[in-house]
Structure 1
Amino acid sequence: MKQPTGSDDDVARELLQSVVATAQAIFGAEASSIFLLDEAADELVFEAVSGQGEEFLVGTRFPAGRGIAGWVATSGEPVIVDDLTRNGSFARDLAESTRYVPDALMAVPLVHGSRVLGVLEVLDPVPQSRSSLGELDLLALFARQAAVALRVVLDRRDAGTPRLGGQGRAESLRMVEALRELLLEAR
C-alpha cells in the first residue's frame, strides 16, 4: 500500500475541506465554511470552503469580533438564524465582500477542551435543517469531532513532530469518512 506523502498542512487542509463538503451535503446547503481563529491577529480566517466562494475565499480574513461567526467564536455558542435581514449581528458588508449573501445560516464553534479553534458555518441550509434544534445539535457534534482531529494535526505541526503520514493520516481520514456516513444515515 502506498503511503501518503503530504505535509501536516496538506493533511489539515484535506481534513477541513472534507468537513465543509460533508456539512454542505448533509444540510443541503449552498455553502459551508470553516474559519480558524488567528488569536495573534484577532481575526477569523477562511481555511476551507465548499460551494459558493470555494474558488477564492480561502485565506480571506475578517475581524474576529464582527458578524455572526465572530459572535460564535467569542461566545462559544452555536446559533441558527433563519432570517439574516432581521439579525443585528449579521455583518452584511462582510458577506457582500465574499460575493455571496445568504438568507439563513447555522454556525457552531470548533471547540477542543475549553479552547475555541474556529467556526463551522453552513449557509442557506434546506429549510427543515435551519429550524430544528436537533439539526443544530447534529452540526455541533460534527464540529466537535472535526475539532478533535484538527487539534491533533495542529498540535503535531506546532510541536515540530514529524508529519502525520501513513497509518495516522489514514486513521484520521477514516474517522472523518465514518462520521460522514453516520451523519448521512441519521438524516
Structure 2
Amino acid sequence: MNDNSAESNAETDPLSQELLRSVVDVARAIFGAAASSVFLLDEARHELVFQAVSGQGENVLVGRRLPARSGIAGWVAMSGEPVIVDDLSSSADFDRDFAESTQYVPHALMAAPLIHGDRVLGVLEVLDPAPQCRSSLDELDLLALFARQAAVALRVVADRRRQADGPALDSEDRTAALRMAEELRRLLESSA
C-alpha cells in the first residue's frame, strides 16, 4: 500500500470497510449520537472522502468527497487537533450548504483526527452527541483516544496487507483485527 493512499485501500478492502463501520457504530453508541462518520484523507486529490457512516446519511454519504480544507472536518484534518462545537449555527467553519446537501443538518458535533505517527489519515466525526452521554474522561479526550485507536487499527490492517503482498487477509488476521475492534469497544464502554 502506498503510504499516501490509506483511503484507496479502505475503499476496496472489505476488512478495512468492516473495521471503519465498527468504528462509526461504536462512536455513535458511546456518545448517544444521531450519526458518526469517518473521512479518510486523499492527499493526492486534496479531498476528504466519507468512508463509513452510521446513522443519519449512512445510505447516501459513503464515497462522497469534499475539499480537504472544507468545513470543520477539513479544519481538524489540517490542524491535527480535535474539536467540539456545541452550537453549529454560530460556527463560521461549519459548511451549512454541504450539510443541507446531505439532508441532515446537525446542531452540534465532535471531531478528532485519525493520526498515525505524524500523519493525519482522516477525521472521525460524531454528530449531535447526547448531553447525558458523559464519561469519566473528558469527552474530547475520549474521542481523541478512540480516533487514535482507529487510526492504529487501520494501519495494522494496511501493513498486514502490504506484508502479504496483496492477497486478502487470512482468517487469523481478520479475527485479530476484529478482536482489536471489539476490545476497544469494551474499553470505551467501561469508561463511559
* TM-score normalised to structure 2 length: 0.88
Q: Which amino acid aligns with 2:171?
A: G
Change (3 A) 1:125 1:116: same
Displacement of 1:104 = 0.1
Query: Which piece of structure 1 moves more, 132-141 or 96-105?
Result: 132-141
C-alpha contact (below 8 Å) 2:30/2:133 kept by paired residues: no
C-alpha contact (below 8 Å) 1:30/1:51 kept by paired residues: yes
Q: Deviation digits for residues 119-167 of structure 1, max 9, x if unmatched?
A: 000000012458x971111111111111011112234259843322211
Q: Choose which of 16, 21, 40 in structure 1 pairs with 2:20.
A: 16
Instruction: For residue 172 of structure 2, give the secondary structure of its aligned residue in structure 1.
Output: helix
Q: Does 1:163 align with 2:174?
A: no
C-alpha contact (below 8 Å) 1:157/1:163 kept by paired residues: no
Query: Which piece of structure 1 moves more, 65-74 or 160-169?
Result: 160-169
Displacement of 1:169 = 1.1
* TM-score normalised to structure 1 length: 0.90
Cα distance in 2, alignment partners of residues 85 and 146 from structure 1: 29
The share of aligned pairs that are identical, in percent, is: 69
Aligned length: 180
Q: Deviation digits for residues 15-60 of structure 1, max 9, x if unmatched?
A: 0000000000000000000000001110000000000000111000
Change (3 A) 1:9 1:157: farther
Cα distance in 2, alignment partners of residues 51 and 103 from structure 1: 15
Cα distance in 2, alignment partners of residues 158 and 110 from structure 1: 22
State the structure with bigger RCO (CA 8 A, min sep 6), 1 or 2: 1
Cα distance in 2, alignment partners of residues 168 and 159 from structure 1: 11
Q: Does 1:50 align with 2:54?
A: yes
Cα distance in 1, alignment partners of residues 92 and 172 from structure 2: 47
- In structure 2, runs of 5+ residues without a counterpart are 1-11
- In structure 1, runs of 5+ residues without a counterpart are 1-7
Large movers: runs of 4+ above 6 Å: none
